[in-house]
Amino acid sequence: MSKKERLSEFNRNNILAAAKQLFLDKGITQTTMDDIAKTADYSKSTIYVYFENKEEIFNYIVLEYFTFLRDGLSYAVDSASDFTDGYFAICNTVVKFYDDYPMYFDSILGDIKVSVDETDPIPFQIYLVGEQINEIIENYFKACMTRGEIRADLDHLPQTIFALWASICGIISLANKKEEYITLKMSDSKEEFMQNGFNVLLRSVLPY
């Protein structure tokens, strides 16, 4: 890497670090490009050399964190001793992701554009990471199905996995947003609520 490239990467990372902190402190909507420039100690014009707008900065952060999630899920299934072990490792990886990056949970695990192409590089990379996550989980399910660890009659496996994925994320989101209600009405901690929910989902794919 040349000196110019190293400087460019250094400046970009400084801007992203400033944006992450501001998004956390003020919220994404309330943060302006002027705020980011001031916090990063750059001129506003310098910020625009590296990023077109605040949305592009946000997308860079989403891509970084989404990549962390992909790598965590890959490690989870590669290290699993059997399907149940891997399944709970997947669940716990997503739980940790929520704990580490709650502000980005809905953005990353919600709507991912499928109409992007290589002319819009960061959204396209986000889409590709999402596809890699789908592939990691689908390949794991297929291997476990071959070994007889999950039901062999699961039709339309991608749809089954997608439904499980949505349910896991929904349980995590609900547990965190409704923690007080869950504790009051169910006498469960949010961790117990999530564990119970994950168990219900697990039973739906295990052999009878």
79: DSSP letter: T
Cα distance between residue 128 and residue 70, in whole Å: 11
Q: How many CA atoms lie within 13 A of 21 on its CB side?
A: 11
Half-sphere exposure of 80 (CA within 13 A, CB side): 25
Domains of the chain: 1-51 (1.10.10.60), 54-203 (1.10.357.10)
Each residue of 166-198: pLDDT tens digit?
Answer: 999 999 999 999 999 999 999 999 999 999 999
In the chain, which ranges are continuous DSSP H helix? 3-26, 33-40, 44-50, 54-78, 83-100, 102-109, 121-146, 157-177, 179-186, 190-203
- Rounded to whole angstroms, the Cα distance separating 135 from 114 reads 16
What whole-number percentage of the chain has pLDDT above 70?
95
Query: Model's pTM, two decimal places?
Result: 0.90
CB 16 within 8 A of CB 25: no
- Three-state DSSP at 41 gives coil
Amino acid at 52: E
The conformation of residue 152, written as its DSSP 8-state character, comes to: T
- In this model, does residue 46 exceed pLDDT 80? yes
pLDDT at 111: 62
- What are the pLDDT digits (tens) for 95-151? 999 999 999 998 877 666 655 566 678 988 998 999 999 999 999 999 999 999 999
